């Protein structure tokens, strides 16, 4: 798929992510990265989510990089895609996002984490203790009940 075709597919109001992901291979990851790092934030967020669905090449690094973004919409896109990532990449991105000022992002992270993690376990405990948002505190507490 050319980068232009990929851009056009992502420009749809509701891209068909699973179908699109099935058409891509490792040679498409650099094109997807270029779109995710581009100036069109709407398209970039869609590229980040699409990358989360790909178990090829280093597509998961696109999601991790979005977690470091100064643009909140990019961090939201990363958090949305966490559930699709392999555990190692999910933990790296979640580690960057769990302490978000935006409670919606913290909640998405907490929902995506489903296994004990030496990195995330202590952060979930700390989040439960210090967050001012009751929903996040309650969710962290429930998650800690799942993670021993």
State pLDDT tens for residues 131-141. 999 999 999 99
What pTM was estimated for this model as a whole?
A: 0.92
Indicate if the pLDDT at residue 146 is higher than 70: no
pLDDT at residue number 118 = 81
pLDDT at residue number 110 = 94
pLDDT tens profile 91-125: 999 999 998 999 999 999 999 986 578 888 889 99
Indicate if the pLDDT at residue 148 is higher than 90: no
Task: Tell me which long-range contacts 8-17 makes (C-beta under 8 A, separation of at least 24).
Answer: 10/35, 10/43, 10/46, 10/47, 10/50, 11/43, 15/46, 15/50, 17/49, 17/50, 17/53
Indicate if the pLDDT at residue 50 is higher than 90: yes
pLDDT tens profile 53-76: 999 989 999 999 999 999 999 999
What percent of the chain has pLDDT above 70? 97
> CA–CA separation, 63 vs 131, rounded Å?
25
38-73 burial, b at 16+ Cβ within 10 Å, e below that, comes to eeeeebbbbbbbbbbbbeebebbbbbbbbbebeeee
Domain residue extents for the chain: 1-86, 98-148
């Amino acid at each position: 798929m050319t980068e232009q075709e990929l851009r056009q597919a992502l420009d749809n109001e509701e891209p068909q992510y699973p179908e699109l992901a099935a058409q891509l291979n490792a040679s498409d990851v650099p094109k997807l990265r270029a779109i995710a790092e581009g100036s069109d934030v709407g398209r970039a967020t869609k590229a980040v989510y699409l990358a989360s669905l790909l178990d090829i090449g280093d597509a998961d690094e696109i999601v991790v990089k979005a977690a470091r973004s100064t643009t909140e919409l990019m961090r939201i896109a990363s958090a949305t895609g966490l559930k699709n990532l392999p555990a190692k990449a999910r933990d790296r991105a979640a580690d960057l996002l769990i302490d978000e000022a935006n409670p919606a992002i913290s909640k998405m992270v907490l929902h995506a984490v489903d296994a004990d993690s030496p990195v995330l376990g202590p952060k979930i405990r700390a989040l439960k203790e210090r967050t001012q948002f009751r929903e996040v505190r309650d969710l962290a507490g429930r998650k800690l009940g799942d993670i021993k």
